Structure 1
Amino acid sequence: MIVCPNCNHSNPDGATQCEACYTPLPVMTNCPNCGTAVQEDASFCGQCGYNLNQETSIPTIATPSSSASSPLPATVVGTDEPNTSQSPPDINPVVVEMSSESPVPPDVEEISSPPESPEPASNIDLEKESESPPPPPVPVPASGSSATHLQLEQASLLHVQTNAKIEIPSHLSVVHLGKPGGPIPPDIDVSGFPNSSVVSRVHADIRAEGGIYYIEDVGSSNGTYINHIVLPVGNRHKLRAGDRIALGKEDKVTFIFQLS
Structure 2
Amino acid sequence: MIVCPNCNHPNPDGAVQCEACYTPLPATTNCPSCGATVQADAAFCGQCGYNLHSAGVPHVHSTVATTVTPDVPVEVPALVPPDPLLELLQPDALGMSESTPSSSFPPTEVAVPPESVSQIPATPSSPPEPAPTVVAQPVVSIQSIPTPPPLEPAPVSEVEVPAPAAPAPTVTAARTQLQQVIARLIHVQTDRLIELPQNLSVIHIGKPNDRIPPDIDVSGFPNSEVVSRIHADIRVEGDAHYVEDVGSSNGTYINNLPLLPGNRHRLRPGDRISLGKGDLMTFLFQLA
- Per the normalisation by structure 1, the TM-score is 0.43
More helix by share: 1
**Structure of greater relative contact order (alpha carbons < 8 Å, 6+ residues apart):** 1
Report the TM-score, using the length of structure 2 for normalisation: 0.39
Please say which structure displays the higher CA radius of gyration: 2
